[in-house]
Structure 1
Amino acid sequence: MALFTRSAILNDHLYRRFYLHPFRTFVDARVKWVRDAYLDFAVEKEKNLKQIISLKNLIISQPSKTIPLSTASVYKTTFNLPTTAINFFQKYPSVFEIFQPSKPSSLPHVKLTPQALTVHNEESKILNSTRYRKDVAQRLTKLLMLTRAGRLPLNIIDLLRFDLGLPHDFILTLLPEFPDYFQICNMVDNDSNVFGLELVTWRDNLATSVLQKRSMDENSGIRRENPIKFSINLPKGFDLEKKVRIWMHEWQNLPYISPYEDAFFLSPNSDQAEKYTVAVLHELMHLLVSKKTEKENLLVLGDYLGFGPRFKKALVHHPGIFYVSNKIRTQTVVLREAYKKDLLAERHLLMGMRYRYLHLMNRKVRVKRLYGVRVNGSHKRVSSVKGG
């Protein structure tokens, strides 16, 4: 009830201010896509990182800290592997070690290499630290605050779980620590009853966007009526048509509506509504530890939030704010201002650990010996390896 009352008050305030504001529509001009080699590399170098960490978590969660290689076929679909699980394990021998257990007649198993286990243990210290857990709880809170109802289905949160830096088992290990922040609830999504996560209470101290904080810092902590503008970073060779540049200048000078306020009363085709849509997308991207995510994740979230096709249009209209990479078998949206060439301008603590896994993934090893194993009725020759 508190969330609803607050939303109604803010909505009335915004309605009075913007409802009669004259609006224009986006100019009829084509905004071309230009490849950004640096941001493409930022995406491409993390190829298979999510799958590596997912398999690592699976292995480490087992009592023996190993999994039978004979069951590997089920993981291809579960973790969206680009190849069979056996081939995937063999591709990254600095992370996974295939070995023959000492027990007689045992089939080959997979475990983490000592190097990967070391990185995992250091990562666990971060994940269990008070600093990290408070940070991730606040980012999850802000995600829920971007919704009008202060709640989201768990399946949608799971789409963004890796990018938000949430623990893979956050429902069991993180949420119980913050009973004043979150609670599991029942929801209806696409006419189906699903479990969701909702805010216990709205938190005004978190309802300030990155752009608003930046503006206040530039004005010595004082809120001013000057238009809040987005950072525009276009790659070399990118030339906007003159009428698009004129439109962009006028659009930037429109009032900035916080993404934590409800502005759905605006005409969906107005420039003011588009600036609000971009504000929501911009804030959402800043909540992600890598400042990037699959385009489909954003479209699913946007559709659930009621933006319909507006997220997709905003990505097309504003290539100086968002870059869409076509690397690694999907489309990935990257927040331009968060990167200097192919590196994050400000690296989140968790990203430092993920780069350690990337280093392991790129290490070369030499083959030690071969084992034979039957998987799904066929004979496979798999390698046990050690670092070289």
Structure 2
Amino acid sequence: MIALKSLRNRSSNLSPKFPFVEQRRWKKAVDSAQTRLENRTRDHQLDKLATKLRTLRTILNTHRLMSTRKRGPFVSVQIMSRWKNILGLNITMGNFLHKYPHVFHLFTHPLNKNLCCRFTPKMENLINEEVDVIRRCESDAVIRIKKLLLMSKSGTLHVHALRLIRTELGLPEDFRDSILGKYGNDFRLVDLEIVELVNSDKNLGDALVEKWRENEYREKWLSEFETNFAFPINFPTGFKIERGFREKLKNWQRLPYVKPYEGKENVVRVRTCGGFERFEKRAVAVVHELLSLTVEKRVEVERLSHFRKDFAMEVNVRELLLKHPGIFYISTKGGTQTVFLREAYSRGCLIEPNPIYVVRRKMLDLVLLGCRNTKELKHLEEIKQESDNLIGKIGDGGTRGGDWVVPIFEPLKKDNLDDNLD
């Protein structure tokens, strides 16, 4: 109490000229890539597509795991339940398999009476069709790799970087041997993990955006000054345009830059001589061209970082993409950050489809059926079961050979029955 009274007396004796003022420091809002990502205007169509593609990717990974088991065309659900963490599922494997009856066929094993799974013939045919289409489009894949090597400042790329976006580029799994090794006149492997361009084709030196610029120049009668360095801009619905934004965008569209296939020796000099905006715009052009070369005009943001040094774009790729919401859109749905080329999509579909995209879209449509139209599946199962039973009886002279037949699928061999069961 005595100490408290003395403290009050001291505070009362303070001079009014020096009042006690509490100082507060207001922190400035951090304008980082993460805050921009959270506050961006969302494109719900592309977000829905990213979520659906994640499901398809999980199903294809399941097929890849099943194909590694070479001792039969089916796997027990008990074994598949161990793959839950590998596939990143947040539900049980049994519930996941039951959600897609047009993709997975569940049946009871005739001997062990446990639940087994294999892919339906329709889904299996689509997976095989994709492999065949990729083989037929081999020449297009060669052109894509050539153009990527032409954008590289040294004319080389790491094979690992190409392997990461193999699916996006429409390359076969064995592209290192079937494409890089096969076309020795175009590619050369250095140290086994670096591919180098042997012959550069001048006809491939034009970016795909140049076609759009020619159409803008001819159809809209715009001047060359307006279209020579411009990009197609398509903002998502609900995008708020602030004061002065249109003027900044107009000046940025007119800003010259070193194009992806031109003057790679001048890229570093442009950056060091105060031309950072032009250097950054070239990075936009490189990412735009890379996305244009992909089959579905999209790629994971994380995988773009593997091309930064080879393409001489020493910038934060995610911040660069978020700076230009009219050109790129980053979706965080589906467990990964995926960047889409906005001009290539309309209502969640690719405007200019290609054969590989068409097959993958058929797979996605089959997945999206869910549990609908299952009556047709049951009808087909009954027909196949009757035919298999008839074949089994004829083969065994009227005995119960049909009991060994699993509906819809080929007869199981006795030698392989126990190999797929644990």
Sort the TM-score into its range (normalised by shorter chain).
Answer: 0.7 to 0.9
Identify the range of structure 1 (51-60 vs 156-165) with the bigger mean alpha-carbon deviation: 51-60
Q: How does 1:208-357 map to 2 (within 5 A)?
A: 208-216=206-214, 227-261=228-262, 262=264, 263-267=267-271, 270-302=276-308, 305-357=311-363
What residue is the counterpart of 1:6 in the other structure? none
- From the superposition, tell whether residues 325 and 205 of structure 1 become closer, same or farther in structure 2 (CA, over 3 Å): same
**Shift, 1:151, TM fit:** 2.4
* Change in CA separation of 1:76 and 1:149 when aligned onto 2, cut-off 3 Å: farther
Q: How much does 1:297 deviate?
A: 1.7
Q: Which moved more, 1:279-288 or 1:241-250?
A: 241-250
- Residues in 1 aligned to 2:47 and 2:319: alpha-carbon distance in whole angstroms: 21
> Residue type of the partner of 2:336?
T
Query: Aligned residues, how many?
Result: 334
Are the counterparts in 2 of residues 212 and 228 from structure 1 also a CA contact under 8 Å? no
Contact 1:277 1:310 survives alignment (8 Å): no
Structure 1 residue corresponding to 2:166, chosen from 156, 161, 182: 161
| Distance (Å, rounded) in 2 between the aligned partners of 1:330 and 1:138 | 28
CA distance 1:51–1:199, change in 2 (3 Å): farther
Per the TM alignment, residue 128 of structure 1 is displaced from its structure 2 partner at its CA by 2.6
Would the alpha carbon gap of residues 59 and 168 (structure 1) be closer, same or farther in structure 2, given more than 3 Å must change? Answer: farther
In percent, how many aligned pairs have the same letter? 31
- The CA deviation at 1:99 is 4.4
Alpha-carbon distance, 1:312 to partner: 2.3
* 109 and 342 in structure 1: CA distance in 2 versus 1, 3 angstrom threshold: same
List per-residue Cα deviations over 1:106-134 (Å, max 9, x = no partner). Answer: 976543211112223332331232xx111
**Amino acid in structure 2 at the alignment position of 1:138:** I
Q: Deviations over 1:283-313 (max 9, x none)?
A: 0111111111222122343366443334223
CA distance in 2, matches of 1:84, 1:144: 44
Q: In the TM superposition, what whole-angstrom CA distance separates every residue of 1:81-116 from its partner, at most 9, and x where no partner exists?
A: 5556665444433223344566x6697654321111
Q: Which has the higher strand share?
A: 1
Deviations, residues 21-75 of structure 1 (Å, cap 9, x unaligned): xxxxxxx9x9751111222223223222223223334545765562544554664
Cα 1:306–1:76 shift into 2, 3 Å: farther
Question: Counterpart amino acid of 1:301?
Answer: F
Cross-structure match for 2:154 = 149
Which stretch has the larger CA shift, 64-73 or 279-288? 64-73
Q: Which has the higher helix share?
A: 2
Q: Which has the larger radius of gyration?
A: 2
Distance change (3 Å), C-alpha of 1:75 and 1:198: farther
Q: Judge which range, 224-233 or 85-94, deviates more.
A: 85-94
- Asked whether the equivalents of residues 227 and 256 of structure 1 are also in contact (C-alpha less than 8 Å), the reply is no
Distance 1:148 1:276 in 2: 13
8 Å contact kept, 2:169–2:295: yes
The answer on whether the counterparts of 2:187 and 2:195 sit within 8 Å (CA) in structure 1 is: yes
Residue 203 of structure 2: aligned partner: 205
Deviation at 1:276, TM superposition (A): 0.6
Structure 2 unaligned spans of 5+: 1-31, 219-223, 379-405, 409-422
For the residues of structure 2 that align with 1:171 and 1:98, how far apart are their CA atoms?
Answer: 36
After TM superposition, the score normalised by the length of structure 2 is 0.68
